[in-house]
Amino acid sequence: MQSLLHAASEMCNRIGLKFKPSKCSTFSLERGKVLESHFTINGEPIKSLTDEETYDHLGIPTGARFNQNPIDSLERAIQDLAAIHASLLAPWQKLEATSVFVVSRPDFILRGGRVNKTSLTRLDKTVKIYAKIWMSLSQRASGFSP
C-alpha cells in the first residue's frame, strides 16, 4: 500500500496536484480485525483509524464497525428543499433544482454506503409534498394518471 501511495503522490506532484494527509485516513483489516497501520504521503503520516472510529468520505461516514445512517445529510437535503420552496423560482425551476441539488444527494449516499430504507421516508414525503404544491396538485393526488 505504501508503494502505491508513493507512486500516486509522485504522479500527482508532477501534474501540480497535492494530497493533504491531514484530510486522509486509513484502516487495515485482517480477518475482520482492525490493525494499526503506518502509511505516509509525501513523508507526512496518515491517521490510522481504530476499530470504532469513522471518517467522512464525501459526506458518507466510513469505518470498520460503523452502521452507516446518514441522517445529518438527509436533514440538510430537507433544509435545502425548504429553501428551494421559499425561493422566487418558477415551479418548473424548483422541480429542476430539487432534481439537481436534493434528489442527487441520497443517490450518492446510497451508492457509497449502507442506508436503511426507513431513513429516506421523511425526505421522500417532503419532496412529494413540495412537488404537489409547485404543480398546484391536491396533496391527495397520486403519482399516476389513467
CA distance 54 to 56: 7
Give the model confidence (pLDDT) of 8-63 as tens digits: 999 999 999 988 888 888 888 888 788 888 899 988 999 888 877 877 766 666 77
pLDDT of res. 27: 81
Give the model confidence (pLDDT) of 88-121 as tens digits: 999 999 999 999 988 887 777 777 666 777 778 8
pLDDT of res. 120: 84
Q: Identify the helix (H) or strand (E) that includes residue 83.
A: helix 71-86
User: Mean per-residue pLDDT for 59-69?
Assistant: 65
pLDDT of res. 30: 82
pLDDT of res. 113: 64
Q: How many other CB atoms sit within 10 Å of the CB of residue 43?
A: 8
> Reduced to 3 states, what is the DSSP secondary structure of residue 62?
strand
Range 4-30 burial, b when 16+ CB lie within 10 A, else e: ebeeebeeeeeeeeebebeebbbbeee
Residue 127 near residue 102 (C-beta atoms within 8 A)? yes
DSSP result, 28-55? EEETTEEE----EETTEEPEEP-SS--E
Residue 84 near residue 103 (C-beta atoms within 8 A)? no
CA distance 68 to 30: 21
Q: Which of the pair, 78 or 30, is modelled with greater confidence?
A: 78
Q: Which of 24, 34, 19 is nearest to 66 (CA)?
A: 34
User: Mean per-residue pLDDT for 64-70?
Assistant: 64
CA distance 114 to 66: 10
